[in-house]
């Protein structure tokens, strides 16, 4: 059974209720929108399709936030808007912002070569930080390696052995392929350039300024113990099976961050207020390249509420957790969904998209 779980991991690396509703004065049927969103997500929960937390906002106003289902089936603790979850690959956006903070401070450039920081990395003189950020470097994705001991502590050097000597997926800069290894290397560069651990850098430069008090990278596994949601393989059986724990040092800067839906809303708002970065840097982050990928974000158009709409988004998925963060800039709609169970098809990054589309339809068609 453990091998099955490991296979699932490498393919993706990728009931109680507690409600808090935020009421504001925006005109135009907001009360009905809140009611419809609440009914929609509670219905998904009743069907066994959702367990976790949701936050939906528009134009700086929270329309709906709620915890649904159980965070811990052994104790009966319910999910809430402040329950802490592993956000998996949604972590990549924090790593990208960290790199851009360092660039704005004049400590590096996205045009620098990987070899400037890792002289011994194979073909590092052909790979730029920019290519790591937008996943065009061609480096082998370590999540494809079946030999990773996912529940064990790994040093950075040990993790490098899972990918640095593997054949390239393509020539640097010539194509796009989703790659956790790129973001692992970026985290190592953050540490080298800043002289801080990745954990401390994002705490001091992102979480503390934004007052994200329940977010962090926790390689020791001790933070937020009484607030973390337990990750389950599925919630269709009673009791649901607890997922294998993936050690944070395996995912690191590619997917090791924990957060809450309320903290992630603060993260989203920072992009509107330029709290962390200049508009120029933000524009570069959200400029799509090959694969419709920017720096830690997808930028694509999807049909929603009867027309094509641009969406900036990312997913995060591994054993026990699945999340989806989305912003529609033209409509200024923000949606963050976080499950505490393994998605039925975890390798499908669009798995939660139908729920996002339905929520957008509720907001725009009221």
Give the per-residue SS3 of the chain: CHHHHHHHHHHHCCCCEEEECCCCCCCCCHHHHHHHHHHHHHHHHHCCCCCEEEEEEECCEEEEEEEECEEECCCCEECCCCCEEECHHHHHHHHHHHHHHHHHCCCCCCCCEHHHCCCCCCCHHHCEHHHHHCCCCCCCCHHHCCCCCCCCCCCHHHHHCCCCCCCCCCCCCCCCCCCHHHHHHHHHHHHHHHCCCHHHHHHHHHHCCCCCCCCEECCCCCCCCCCECCCECCCCCCCCCECCCCCHHHHHHHHCEEECHHHHHHHHHHHHHCCCCCHHHHHHHCCCCHHHECCCCEEEEEEECCEEEEEEEEEEEECCEEEEEEEECCCCEEEEEEECECCCCCCCCCCCHHHHHHHHHHHHCC
User: Which pLDDT value is given to residue 301?
Assistant: 97
Please tell me the predicted confidence (pLDDT) of residue 12: 37
Q: List all residues 6 or more positions away from 157 whose beta carbon is below 8 Å from its beta carbon.
A: none
Flag whether pLDDT at 317 surpasses 60. Answer: yes
Model-level pTM? 0.91
Q: How confident is the model at residue 346 (pLDDT cuts 50, 70, 90)?
A: confident
Residue 345 binned pLDDT confidence (cut-offs 50, 70, 90): confident
Question: Tokens in use for 323?
Answer: 């999340």
- In whole angstroms, what is the distance from residue 364 CA to residue 79 CA? 27
Least confident of 8-12, 76-80, 183-187, 227-231: 8-12
Rounded Cα distance, 56 and 337, in Å = 9
Closest of 338, 353, 344, 354 to residue 90, by C-alpha:
338
* pLDDT more than 90, % of the chain: 86
pLDDT tens digits along 58-87 = 999 999 999 999 999 999 999 999 999 999
Reply yes or no on whether the pLDDT at 17 is more than 70. no
Q: Are 247 and 152 in contact (CB under 8 A)?
A: yes
Helix axes 92-104, 180-194, angle to 10 degrees: 40
When pLDDT is averaged across residues 92-114 and rounded to a whole number, the result is 98
**pLDDT tens-digit map of 319-337:** 999 999 999 999 999 999 9
Which one is predicted more confidently, 98 or 225?
98
Least confident of 23-27, 199-203, 324-328, 349-353: 23-27
Q: Which domains are assigned to the chain?
A: 2-16+69-327 (3.40.710.10)
Q: What is the pLDDT of residue 224?
A: 87
Which tokens belong to 54?
A: 């949701």
* 328, 309 contact by CB (below 8 A): yes
Q: Which pLDDT belongs to residue 7?
A: 37
Residue of 296, 324, 330 lying closest to 310 (CA atoms): 330
Per-residue pLDDT at 153 exceeds 50: yes
Task: Tell me if the bond preceding 44 is cis, omega within 30° of 0.
Answer: no
Separation of alpha carbons 193 and 159, rounded Å: 20
Q: Which residues, including other chains, have CB under 8 Å from residue 76's CB and lie 6 or more apart?
A: 16, 70
Per-residue pLDDT for 217 more than 60? yes
Mean pLDDT within 106-124: 98
**Mean pLDDT (the chain, rounded):** 91
User: pLDDT tens across 252-295, in order?
Assistant: 999 999 999 999 999 999 999 889 999 999 999 999 999 999 99
pLDDT of residue 29: 62
């Amino acid at each position: 059974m453990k091998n099955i779980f490991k296979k699932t991991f490498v393919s993706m690396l990728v009931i109680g209720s507690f409600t808090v509703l935020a009421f504001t004065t925006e005109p135009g049927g907001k009360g009905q929108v809140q009611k419809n969103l609440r009914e929609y997500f509670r219905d998904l929960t009743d069907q066994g399709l959702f367990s976790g937390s949701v936050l939906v906002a528009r134009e700086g106003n929270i329309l709906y936030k709620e915890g649904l289902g159980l965070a811990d089936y052994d104790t009966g603790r319910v999910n809430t808007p402040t329950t802490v979850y592993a956000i998996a690959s949604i972590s990549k956006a924090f790593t990208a912002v960290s790199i851009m903070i360092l660039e704005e401070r004049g400590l590096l450039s996205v045009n620098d070569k990987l070899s400037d920081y890792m002289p011994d990395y194979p073909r590092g003189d052909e790979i730029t930080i920019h290519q790591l950020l937008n996943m065009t470097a061609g480096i082998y994705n370590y999540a494809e390696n079946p030999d990773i001991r996912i529940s064990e502590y790994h040093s950075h050097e040990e993790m490098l052995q899972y990918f640095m000597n593997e054949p390239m997926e393509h020539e640097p800069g010539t194509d796009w392929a989703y790659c956790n290894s790129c973001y692992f290397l970026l985290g190592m560069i953050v540490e080298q350039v800043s002289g801080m651990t990745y954990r401390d850098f994002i705490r001091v430069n992102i979480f503390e300024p934004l007052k994200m008090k329940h977010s962090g990278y926790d390689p020791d596994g001790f933070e937020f113990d009484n607030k973390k949601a337990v990750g389950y393989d599925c919630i269709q059986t009673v009791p649901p099976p607890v997922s294998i724990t993936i050690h944070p040092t395996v995912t690191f800067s590619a997917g090791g961050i924990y957060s809450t839906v309320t903290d992630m809303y603060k993260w989203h708002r920072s992009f509107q207020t330029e709290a962390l970065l200049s508009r120029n840097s933000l524009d570069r982050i959200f400029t799509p390249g090959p694969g419709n990928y920017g720096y830690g974000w997808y930028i694509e158009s999807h049909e929603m509420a009867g027309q094509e709409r641009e969406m900036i988004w990312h997913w995060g998925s591994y054993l026990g957790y699945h999340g989806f963060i989305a912003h529609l800039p033209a409509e200024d709609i923000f949606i963050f969904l976080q499950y505490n169970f393994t998605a039925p098809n975890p390798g499908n990054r669009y798995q939660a998209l139908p729920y996002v589309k339905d929520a957008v339809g509720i907001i725009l068609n009221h």
